[in-house]
Amino acid sequence: MRTEVAIVGAGPAGLLLSHLLHLRGVGSVVLERHDRTHVENRIRAGVMEHDVAALLDAVGVGARMRREGLVHEGINIRFRERTRRIDFRDLVGRTVMVYGQQEVVRDLIAARLEAGGTILFGAEATAIEGIDGERPRVRFRENGEEHLLTCDFVVGCDGFHGVSRAAVPADRITLFERVYPFAWLGILAEAPPASEELVYAHHERGFALLSMRSPRLSRLYIQCRPDETLEAWPDERVWEELEIRLGGAELGLRRGPVVQKGITAMRSFVAEPMRFGRLFLAGDAAHIVPPTGAKGMNLAVADVRLLDRALGAWYGEGDPRLLEAYSEIRLRHIWRVQHFSWWMTAMLHRFEDASPFDRRRQLAELDHVTSSRAAGRMLAENYTGLPFLEEGEPAWEDPS
């Protein structure tokens, strides 16, 4: 089997890259180890930056998002039993879009299949070979049979545990990681959201977040220990804790049937570089951020947007410069977003080893961010999305 670009993973990054390349006339094959039903129903992120939503519109896959998505002009931050709003439109003239990642995936799958694109569901990539040559290969298993996909380039969009990053020799890659001493317990509930915009709550018992997926579905989170089990959190306990941390009586928190519940570990992670010969890493294969800043899917989209432009230059003009600069351009942006996501996480969560001084400092920081226009603008600028970096800008450099 032969194609121009082999894409491992049918998440938003892999599917969007395949769609963008199709618009350029560049062929691709997407390999996905799960079936289509699983891919279209796995619940992930739900907040899109201003430019990410605009990009989906521009490439023809944003119609349903514009009909069903929720445009948010700010967020609320709650601490010391009071709620303050960060007004994005006023501060930076931008908004975010709340639209579930699984909905983006459904839209992209529909677009690729309608255009005759090749997505192989149930096709598990088992090895990537020849990344330093001109004809890399991806071995994959489908319906119990072994297959070989030959290509010009491989793009690994297969997540933290995928085969793509594992294909890189250990002496050619450096991993940076921070694991946080807490997790998020999240529920999806059939209940109208109690707020029109997200509510981030800092509480002495721990962090909580009120989010949503639609006017009828609430997405809610509470900070918990990373070693806790779902059995320790029956629905009644979850709702009681949410009411305490979010100020349920004041907010008017509405209960409803819990249709999904899970615990998510928290980590920051970056792999450097992100290019190894003809293999490129994108999305969670290359970087993970804690979800506090709502950046995971947005970073993945920025990765493949640049890859699309770089591959377009290579196939269109034979120009390899943007492909060669992919890693350094992306890492500059990624480390900025890593800082923002770490900062939001550190400011809002309760750390068990924090001293009384640390806790007072957190409250002072929250007070500053929500009362200073300059500090609020910094949060709004990052939350709504830093501009996509272009190839002409200086690359990020390691200060060490």
Cα 196 to the center of its chain, rounded Å: 22
Task: Choose, from 19, 72, 202, 287, the residue flagged as catalytic.
Answer: 72
C-alpha–C-alpha distance, residues 308 and 15, integer Å: 12
Any catalytic annotation for residue 291? yes
In this structure, are residues 384 and 91 in contact, taking their beta carbons and an 8 Å threshold?
Answer: no
In which region does residue 252 sit, left (phi positive, over 0), alpha (psi from -120 to 50) or beta (all else)? left
Any catalytic annotation for residue 72? yes
Task: Choose, from 99, 180, 221, 383, the residue flagged as catalytic.
Answer: 383
Strand order in the sheet with 145-150: 123-129, 137-142, 145-150
Task: Choose, from 295, 315, 333, 349, the residue flagged as catalytic.
Answer: 295
Any catalytic annotation for residue 200? yes
Write the CA distances from 135 to 88, 129, 156, 279, 289, integer angstroms: 47, 9, 16, 11, 33
| Residues 6+ positions from 317 with CB-CB distance below 8 Å | none
Task: Choose, from 19, 291, 315, 349, the residue flagged as catalytic.
Answer: 291
- Residue 171 carries which DSSP code? G
Any catalytic annotation for residue 339? no
301: helix, strand or coil: helix
Task: Choose, from 136, 180, 193, 200, the residue flagged as catalytic.
Answer: 200
Cα three-residue angle 99-383-239, rounded to 5 degrees: 60
Q: Would you please indicate which residues are annotated as catalytic (active-site) residues?
A: 72, 200, 291, 295, 383
